[in-house]
Amino acid sequence: MLNAKTPSISTLLPELIQLETLIERLSQHKSPVPFHFDILAHIPCNNHFPQNHQNSLPLYAIHLGTPDPKAPLMLFVGGVHGLERIGTQVLLSYLHTIIERMTWDTTLHHLLERIQIVFIPLVNPVGMAKNYRSNGNHIDLMRNAPLNSQEKTAFLIGGHRLSPRIPWFRGHNSQQMELEADALTRFVTDLTTSRTVTLSLDCHSGFGLKDRIWFPYAHSAKQAFPYIGDVFHLRHTFMRTYPNQNYIFEPQALHYLCHGDLWDHITLQCLRQQQVILPLTLEMGSWRWIKKNPLQIRQALGIFNPMKPQRIQRVLQKHIVLMDFMINATANYPSWFNHADNPYYKQQALSRWYKKQQ
């Protein structure tokens, strides 16, 4: 029975309400831009919110732009780790901006005739409603893929099978992939099938002082991701165009290795089927927010999210340039992608990021 003391789902998960409001707004929209949404999975949650009579929470994907399955695709993903709410909030704020621009901005209409943009801002709704890093089953979705590193991984952080009570739990060996991870993998590998290129940005927070953009691999420091030349060229284009930003681009393996990384898994699945995906992860430097406001470390959310309203506002603003760039880079991919026959950028990437391996 719902009583005055039972928090509602809208109190526990305002991000879901915000997302559904944006979908509603799109449904009533008079824009010429094609739009539809999918529910990739219904994530069971009845044992978490018994008093709310809530059996499941939806995992939404919102498609904007041309339905042509061959069109270049930009994928925005967030909320894989439930505690890192700011990633979802950055994407919801950006989706809001895109929806408003769709009502008046003919430049955007033309752009969306050429590309498709897909938002999956809340991959782990149960984890976020519970303020867990993991999903509702205490499994870390970014350690849950059936992929083992053959090199030395970081202790615990790199994924383990010891106990669901310790963060970074991968799940038991015999278990299937979790519903959220499996749904995202199937959806992305299916969506990339006939496209020349797919770019993605998965928004996280919690590592270091600076904002980093990580690319695969997370399971190996010895192997280089096949598209490092293209990533280097993309980075070069970004830096040249926006010289006053301070993102650090690097392979995740430069910091630590882990088992079960979902983007490594999706990348390898795509490579096997000769599909192209360049999955980037935005790792927002949350230690900077703690440095400015040390008391916020007393709250679990304070370790991963800005807490003061003006700082939240600044973070929501800050990444618009990056996300606009990625959309434009997707539409203009011939200017930076697939220089395989030109070893220049690959060599640059190898000497910048893989010096030890050479």
Binding residues vs Zn ion (CB under 5 A) = 81, 84, 204
As measured in angstroms, the least distance from the Cβ of 84 to Zn ion is 5
> By C-beta, is 31 or 131 nearer to Zn ion?
131
- Structure token digits, residue 87: 């990633």
Query: What amino acid occupies position 22?
Result: L
Of 81 and 143, which CB lies nearer to Zn ion in the complex structure?
A: 81
- Output the CA angle 331-245-262, nearest 5 degrees: 60
Indicate the residue whose CB is closest to Zn ion.
204
Taking the least distance from each CB to Zn ion, the nearer of 59 and 276 is 59
Query: Which CB, 80 or 188, lies closer to Zn ion?
Result: 80
Q: Residue 265 has which token pair?
A: 């898994």
State phi, psi for 340 to the nearest 5 degrees: -60, -30
Whichever of 130 and 204 has its CB closer to Zn ion, that residue is 204
**Residues 6 or more apart from 355 whose CB is under 8 A from it?**
none
Nearest-approach distance from CB 83 to Zn ion, in angstroms = 8
Minimum distance from CB of 26 to Zn ion (Å)?
Answer: 27
For residue 281, the minimal CB distance to Zn ion (Å) is 8
Q: How far is the CB of 43 from Zn ion (least distance, A)?
A: 18
Token pair in block for residue 54:
């809530």
**Peptide bond just before 217 cis, omega within 30 deg:** yes
> Of 49 and 304, which CB lies nearer to Zn ion in the complex structure?
304
Encoded amino acid at 96, one letter: H
Distance (Å) of CA 156 to CA 26, 145, 152, 184, 256:
42, 16, 12, 24, 11
Contact 165, 41 (CB under 8 A): no
Q: How far apart are CA 211 and CA 318, in angstroms?
A: 10
3-class DSSP state for residue 117?
strand
Nearest to 159 by CA among 265, 257, 78: 257
Q: Are 297 and 291 in contact (CB under 8 A)?
A: no
Q: Which is nearer to Zn ion, 84 or 180 (CB)?
A: 84
Whose Cβ is closer to Zn ion: residue 83's or residue 98's? 83
Q: Smallest distance from the beta carbon of 89 to Zn ion, in angstroms?
A: 14
Sign of CA dihedral 163, 256, 300, 298: positive
